[in-house]
Amino acid sequence: MTFELVVRNGTVVTSSATYQADVGVHDGKIAAVADELHGEREINAVGKYVIPGGVDIHVHMQMSLGDGVVSSDDFFTGTRAAAFGGTTTLIDFVEPEPQQSLLEGLAARRAEANPQVVIDYGLHMTLGPDEKDKLDQVQAAYDAGCGSFKLYMAYGFRLDDGQLLSALAAIKQVGGQPVIHCENWDVILTLIQRNLEAGRTAPHWHPRSRPAPLEAEAAGRAIDIASYVDAPLHIFHVSCAAVVERIRSARALGLPITGETCPQYLFLTQKAYDAPGLQGTLPICSPPLRPQADQDALWRALGQGDLQLITTDHCPFVLRDKARGLEDFSKIPGGVPSIEMRLAGAYQGVDRGYYSLNRWVDLCCSAPARLAGLSSKGDIAIGLDADLVVFDPERQVTLSTDFLHEQCDWTPYDGIELQGWPEVTISRGEVIVRDGEFQGEPGRGRFIARR
């Protein structure tokens, strides 16, 4: 067989094995994993890890919050930054308008993404309160490739417990995967009001209005409701040890519950909210950053198998938009940019002894692909899409807005030093980033229909 591309002499790392081999690519697929392969184009990966392309199943590109506030990465800049960071597949969201059917919402979001994406992508279907009368459309959304459904216990999208039960039952019936934002919204609204009335308007009060035990209460409640209707459940952006404990105990009972955390919770703490002026508004996200003890617990949970994935919840807002909440922390748009540093950030867990190389690949590539029904992604095996990353474990980088490619005028990781960085990113056999140079094209990415 002729190989269009061979990645030679690298150390192949998958979620289950580490070995020396060449990887041959034919027609966009992995066609051989063996010694002494040669092809039309060869990449020398000696001294490097060859891993499956990263899979990030939680991102928000060009997400509108209304009043002209939109997350600042569009589908082009966001997927390009993802590619620079070694991510070759991501999953964003459909948020249907009240008057739209689920399929109309899906078509509209695909029309936004398709001309721009440089890597492959999927979409979670959001079922908010406006969708409570659309649950008979869940099968159609699933058949159209939305294998997973997003539920919120916070914000305007919030479902009450009865709505949550109905949505989970409908998703279960079609065999879909529910994913959920867990916080106790009534408690949050009460605490925000109490703090603002007392003149406590600074970002310092953001985590103090969204307490960790109530994030855990919400997660526990969601798990109990899911278990009652016999549905699986994936818990988004776990910020604290208390939620890990809920997930751990549910899994110990054999329940199909999974959880993810994100780089912001692994590299930052709630002290960041005490920075003066605009600086303190920037890392506002929900659930909020927590104390150091929670950060330590999250790293341990990833190593011990109590959390299963690392995603980003990438949702950048520029300085001008963050400044809207200078006088009132509850008005600061929530979300931070993380898409580019995820894979290398997670590699620090190997470097610091929390988990193995294989576990790193599982957390960032294989487990997200399995959970999201991306059957052709997340592994290095014959017949799968040739989504590959050549990762240089010796390269040291210092993160900054100049170094990163996200379309955002700040990064929460400014000055953080990382050991290891992706050198080459390959999507379906095409080299799209090499040595810091982008070689992809907008629109080359494909929508992946997922089961």
> Given the complex with Zn ion, which of 30 and 336 has the nearer CB atom?
336
| Sign of the alpha-carbon dihedral angle for 261, 267, 268, 269 | positive
Q: Please say which residue, 177 or 286, places its beta carbon nearer to ligand URP.
A: 286
> What tokens appear for 270 in the block?
């709630």
Tell me the closest approach of the beta carbon of residue 285 to ligand URP, in angstroms.
Answer: 4
**CA–CA separation, 118 vs 114, rounded Å?**
9
DSSP states of 31-67: EEEESS---SEEEE-TTSEEEEPEEE--B-SS-EEET
Interacting positions 329-348 with ligand URP (CB under 6 A)? 334-335
User: Which pair of tokens denotes residue 426?
Assistant: 């390959």
Q: Which is nearer to ligand URP, 3 or 317 (CB)?
A: 317
CB closer to Zn ion out of 11 and 264: 264
Q: Contact with ligand URP (CB under 6 A): which of 231, 268, 315, 365?
A: 315
* The only residue of 313, 340, 387, 430 in contact with Zn ion, by rule CB under 5 A: 313
Among residues 153 and 297, whose Cβ is nearest to Zn ion?
A: 153
How is residue 101 written in tokens? 């059917």
Place of tokens 């509209």: 108
Q: Which of 109, 124, 134, 181 binds ligand URP (CB under 6 A)?
A: 181
Q: Any contact of residue 92 with ligand URP (CB under 6 A)?
A: no
Is residue 126 part of the contact set for ligand URP (CB under 6 A)?
Answer: no
Query: Among ligand URP, Zn ion, none, what binds residue 335 when CB lies within 5 to 8 Å by partner kind?
Result: ligand URP
Q: Distance (Å, rounded) from C-alpha 399 to C-alpha 409?
A: 13
Does 370 bind Zn ion (CB under 5 A)? Our answer is no
Residue 60 makes contact with ligand URP by CB under 6 A: yes
Give yes or no for residue 147 binding ligand URP (CB under 6 A): no
Q: Considering the complex, what minimum distance in angstroms separates the CB of residue 304 from ligand URP?
A: 25
Nearest residue (CB) to ligand URP, 120 versus 215: 215
Which x/- pattern, by CB under 5 A, does the window 155-184 give for Zn ion?
--------------------------x---
State the nearest-atom distance from the C-beta of 313 to ligand URP, in Å: 5
Interface residues for ligand URP in 267-286 (CB under 6 A)? 285-286
In the complex, minimum distance from the CB of residue 335 to ligand URP, in angstroms, rounded to a whole number: 4
DSSP character at residue 363: I
- Nearest in space to 264 (alpha carbons), one of 242, 280, 287, 241: 287
Residues comprising the chain, all counted: 451
Is the CB of residue 351 less than 8 Å from the CB of residue 96? no
DSSP result, 216-281 = HHHHHHHHHHHHHTT--EEE----SHHHHHHHHHHHHTT--EEEEE-HHHHH--GGGGGSSTHHHH
Question: CA-to-CA distance for 397 and 418, rounded, in angstroms?
Answer: 5
For Zn ion (CB under 5 A), the number of binding residues is 2
CA–CA separation, 179 and 174 (whole Å): 15
Site for ligand URP in 187-226 (CB under 6 A): none
Answer whether 164's CB lies under 8 Å from 132's CB: no
Binding site for Zn ion (CB under 5 A): 181, 313
Binding site for ligand URP (CB under 6 A): 60, 181, 285-286, 313, 315, 334-335
